Homo-oligomer: A and B are copies of this chain.
């Protein structure tokens, strides 16, 4: 067997690992490698040596004591060391992480990364680079923390054509929505609590606007549909418009509100969308509370399989990173396709699916309107919906305030076209007797 890439031609007895990043996840991974090395060797079949750990500031106080000489501030100590077989990148962000990954793969090193942003933006290029260099590139930790969804889409569920993925893959926003549903707090108050508990960052934009979920959905959809998708292919609406009364109406109508990331295939086109949605209260996804994540895969053979677990945190993410590490170590010396290289994202894989624009969505809708409490207002609204071929399933009228002559009207529709609904919302907003279109939320059955 010929040596491939930067690997020594004999299969090494001890696998040297270079860890890039020693934050929350890096500390978890390093702790596991140092404390559980013998158990890891049993499972992986070879011993693992944590040779170098890249940090920005070696003086920082840390929860871990590395053996002397292991810590470095120079990435070249990892990337240019021919004895390091596997690079584990847990720094996050694109710069300098992506450059490091490219350099490691180009040197024929196997790579395990937790980096959702890099995998969403440059996953297919990096996977191609891995293939060119007979290297593995694994990224279980980039989506869903301790939930093994990436590996299952690559491997265990590989026989299936994926009809859809519906997921709750951002723990911060699921915590916020759970608080809003159970305590009926405002979005701002729930966000503040999440920030106090360390679940949300000071600038929560990435989470609450769905950017993080869209990265993860991009990764899942690229695996499921075996073609690269881009972040820009994802239609994205955040959760900041949600108000306590939306949760009250949802409950009354038999739904929960969940921040879903959805990919589905229909008529040869894939639609990717992230938005808060009504989910039937008895559905498993409606029962995913707090910082938990869940992913429901609907496959042509397996049917609906749901995965539920901790989507973030030091230990769950370490589970994913070390699981990838074990897979790479077991495959070292292999002649076979490298793990991660077989995800089908190779050019010319034969699948050339279009991206379906959001305007083509067929969904049921919930609309909440602040109206002038006059007779005839409902007739006007119904007329607008009828003009758009949108038929009404239910109407609730509540919170009538005689002193301001205002009332709140809630409408749910039968399945309708998104573009028609958007036009109807504009037309409703233009009606004299409609003070505000307070919210529109899609219903996912």
Binding site for B on A (CB under 8 A): 1, 11, 28, 32, 39-40, 42-45, 140, 145-148, 151-152, 155-161, 226, 284, 287, 299-310, 315-316, 318-323, 325-327, 330-337, 342, 344, 349-351
Known: A145-B302, A331-B336. 16 other contacts (CB 8 A): A1-B335, A40-B159, A42-B350, A146-B301, A146-B302, A152-B152, A152-B156, A155-B326, A158-B323, A284-B308, A300-B315, A301-B318, A302-B310, A307-B307, A308-B308, A330-B337
Please determine whether A146 and B330 come into contact, CB atoms closer than 8 angstroms.
no
Cβ of B303 and Cβ of A157 under 8 Å apart? Answer: no
* Assembled-state Cα–Cα distance A307/B300 (Å): 18
A319 touches B146 (CB 8 A): no
CA gap between A308 and B337 in the complex, in Å: 30
A155-B155, A336-B331 given; A148·B301 CB < 8 A = no
Contact A332 B326 (CB under 8 A): no
Q: Please indicate the chain B residues that have their CB under 8 angstroms from the CB of A287 in the complex.
A: 284, 287
Contact call B316/A310, Cβ cutoff below 8 A? no
Query: Once the chains bind, are B302 and A309 in contact (CB under 8 Å)?
Result: yes
Residue of B nearest to A325 (CB): B159
How many of these chains are in the complex? 2
- Is B43 within 8 A of A344, CB to CB? yes
CB distance from A34 to the nearest CB of B (A): 14
- What are 11 residue pairs bridging A and B, where the CB atoms are less than 8 Å apart in the complex? A40-B159, A45-B337, A147-B305, A157-B319, A159-B318, A284-B308, A300-B315, A301-B318, A303-B316, A305-B309, A306-B309
Decide yes or no: A327 and B11 within 8 Å by CB, A302-B146, A306-B309, A316-B302 being known contacts: no
B158→A326 contact, CB < 8 A: yes
Closest B residue to A305 by CB, please name it: B309
In the assembled complex, the CB of A289 is this many whole angstroms from the nearest CB of chain B, namely 9
A309 near B303: Cβ-Cβ < 8 Å:
yes
Our pick among B42, B300, B308, B315 for the contact of A301 (Cβ within 8 Å) is: B315
Please list the 6 inter-chain residue pairs (A to B) with the smallest Cβ-Cβ separation, ordered nearest first.
A148-B156, A146-B302, A159-B322, A301-B319, A305-B309, A334-B336
A296 to chain B, nearest CB (A): 9
Contact present for A299 and B336 (CB under 8 Å): no
CB neighbours of A327 from chain B (8 A): 155, 158
